[in-house]
């Protein structure tokens, strides 16, 4: 069986970390005897500057044929964020119903948390973010523009289908983990309609999982708990906005953006899922060969898990931790390894 992978390196350091991800996958495919075929797509801000669009009209049609998409990062100085977001990332997430954004937060061996005294035993949880609806809608508008009466409205959209499916996925994840603990992010004391609905559906869905310990926190105190009590959490589920906030805060306590992976999952596998490092194109360090490839390797591990190559994925992360645990780190983590030298060390550690 050949796994068909679409590659979108994108912009900036995306073009530096994705080739290393491919090199890693090739090494793993030799070691674990599976076959991969890669097709690269140039969709990016660079493409936008040349063609006036982030991808061609049939871009999604072409991507649809793959099992998985490995994306680097899109973004460039001089191209507004909403161009790359609404021109590429959101169409992929929404058209392919990648309704779960899954972000593991775990302190890797050899990496220090900014939370003093916290170790790997304290920081090991999963953020499950709703990825297709909620607060990030394009419904709204501006009235009386430019006048004293100016008024702006932004609607949130929560559907039964959308809320239930992400909460159910979070329940399944929590059921499969030893702690069996699920936390919901809410704000039903301030948001009158959508958040009470979210809570109601959380109670209804979790009723099917009596083995789970379930709780909920308002998003404001929840962010404080992430910092003060990261050891309280196992699986945390949130709406698009709250999940977005938590899934940046999570990596911040586990070594930063250079190590944080993410998955945009179409759980039913009707469409491709997309795997990507959390970080952006980092124009400030692009071209220097110093980007940390761990976020990409971890995303590759999640992709391998999804494809059914769990052993290869586990071997990859074990090798990463042998290298980081040995004190070899890239510049963002205080070390001196380059993107390439770090990758070489991980490939070397695969067979150990």
Site residues for ligand ATP per CB under 6 A? 13, 73, 75, 81, 257-258, 279-282, 284-285, 291-292, 295, 332
Q: Does 280 bind Mg ion (CB under 5 A)?
A: yes
Partner from Mg ion, ligand ATP, none contacting 76, C-beta within 5 to 8 A by type: none
Partner from ligand ATP, Mg ion, none contacting 92, C-beta within 5 to 8 A by type: none
Partner from ligand ATP, Mg ion, none contacting 138, C-beta within 5 to 8 A by type: none
Decide whether 261 or 280 has the Cβ nearer to Mg ion. Answer: 280
Q: How far apart are CA 216 and CA 300, in angstroms?
A: 31
Measured in whole angstroms, the distance separating CA 51 from the mean position of its chain's CA atoms is: 28
Q: How far apart are CA 136 and CA 130, in angstroms?
A: 10
Q: Nearest approach, Cβ of 336 to ligand ATP (angstroms)? A: 13
Q: How far apart are CA 73 and CA 124, in angstroms?
A: 25
Q: List the x/- string, 221-260, binding to Mg ion by CB under 5 A.
A: ----------------------------------------
Q: Does 72 bind Mg ion (CB under 5 A)?
A: no
Partner from Mg ion, ligand ATP, none contacting 244, C-beta within 5 to 8 A by type: none
Q: How far apart are CA 71 and CA 327, in angstroms?
A: 28
Per CB under 5 A, the segment of 94-102, 166-174, 239-247, 276-284 that binds Mg ion is 276-284
Q: Which two tokens stand for residue 212?
A: 């789970």
Cβ pair 175, 209 in contact under 8 A: yes
Q: Does 261 bind Mg ion (CB under 5 A)?
A: no
Sign of the four-CA dihedral 298, 304, 307, 308: negative
Decide whether 87 or 110 has the Cβ nearer to Mg ion. Answer: 87
Partner from Mg ion, ligand ATP, none contacting 292, C-beta within 5 to 8 A by type: ligand ATP
Decide whether 184 or 247 has the Cβ nearer to ligand ATP. Answer: 247
Sign of the four-CA dihedral 131, 320, 301, 225: negative
Partner from ligand ATP, Mg ion, none contacting 236, C-beta within 5 to 8 A by type: none
> How many degrees, rounded to 5, is the angle at CA 66 between CA 62 and CA 21?
110
- The sheet carrying 68-73 orders its strands as 35-40, 2-10, 68-73, 273-277, 261-265, 100-106, 124-130, 235-238, 181-186, 213-218
Cβ pair 130, 186 in contact under 8 A: no
Partner from Mg ion, ligand ATP, none contacting 155, C-beta within 5 to 8 A by type: none
Decide whether 133 or 244 has the Cβ nearer to ligand ATP. Answer: 244
Decide whether 162 or 258 has the Cβ nearer to ligand ATP. Answer: 258
Sign of the four-CA dihedral 176, 308, 70, 351: positive
Q: Which two tokens stand for residue 54?
A: 């982030």
Decide whether 13 or 316 has the Cβ nearer to Mg ion. Answer: 13
Interface residues with Mg ion (CB under 5 A)? 280
């Amino acid at each position: 069986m050949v796994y068909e992978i679409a590659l979108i390196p994108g912009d900036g350091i995306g073009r530096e970390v994705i080739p290393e991800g491919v090199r890693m996958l090739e090494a793993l495919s030799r070691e674990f005897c599976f076959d991969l075929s890669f097709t690269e797509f140039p969709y990016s801000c660079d493409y936008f500057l040349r063609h006036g669009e982030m991808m061609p009209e049939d871009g999604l049609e072409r991507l649809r044929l793959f099992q998985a998409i490995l994306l680097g990062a899109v973004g460039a100085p001089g191209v507004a964020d909403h161009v790359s977001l609404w021109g590429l990332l959101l169409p992929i997430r929404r058209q392919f119903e990648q309704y779960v954004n899954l972000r593991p937060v775990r302190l890797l061996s050899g990496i220090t948390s900014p939370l003093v005294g916290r170790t790997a035993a304290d920081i090991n949880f999963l953020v499950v973010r709703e990825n297709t609806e909620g607060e990030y809608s394009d419904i709204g508008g501006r009235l009386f523009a430019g006048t004293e009466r100016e008024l702006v409205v932004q609607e949130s959209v929560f559907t039964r289908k959308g809320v239930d499916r992400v909460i159910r996925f979070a329940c399944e994840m929590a059921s499969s983990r030893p702690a069996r603990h699920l936390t919901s992010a809410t704000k039903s004391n301030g948001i009158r309609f959508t958040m009470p609905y979210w809570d109601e559906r959380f109670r209804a869905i979790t009723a099917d999982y009596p083995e789970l310990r379930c709780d909920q926190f308002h998003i404001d105190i929840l962010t404080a708990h992430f910092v003060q009590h990261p050891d309280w959490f196992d699986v945390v589920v949130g709406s698009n906005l709250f999940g977005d906030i938590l899934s940046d805060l999570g990596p911040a306590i586990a070594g930063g953006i250079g190590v944080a992976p993410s998955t945009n999952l179409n759980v039913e596998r009707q469409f491709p899922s997309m795997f990507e490092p959390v970080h952006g194109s980092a124009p400030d360090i692009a071209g220097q060969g110093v980007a940390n490839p761990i976020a990409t390797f971890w995303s590759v591990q999640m992709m391998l898990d999804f494809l059914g190559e769990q052993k290869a994925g586990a071997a990859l992360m074990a090798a990463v931790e042998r290298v980081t645990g040995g004190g070899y780190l890239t510049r963002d983590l205080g070390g001196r390894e380059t993107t390439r030298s770090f990758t070489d060390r991980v490939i070397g550690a695969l067979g150990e």
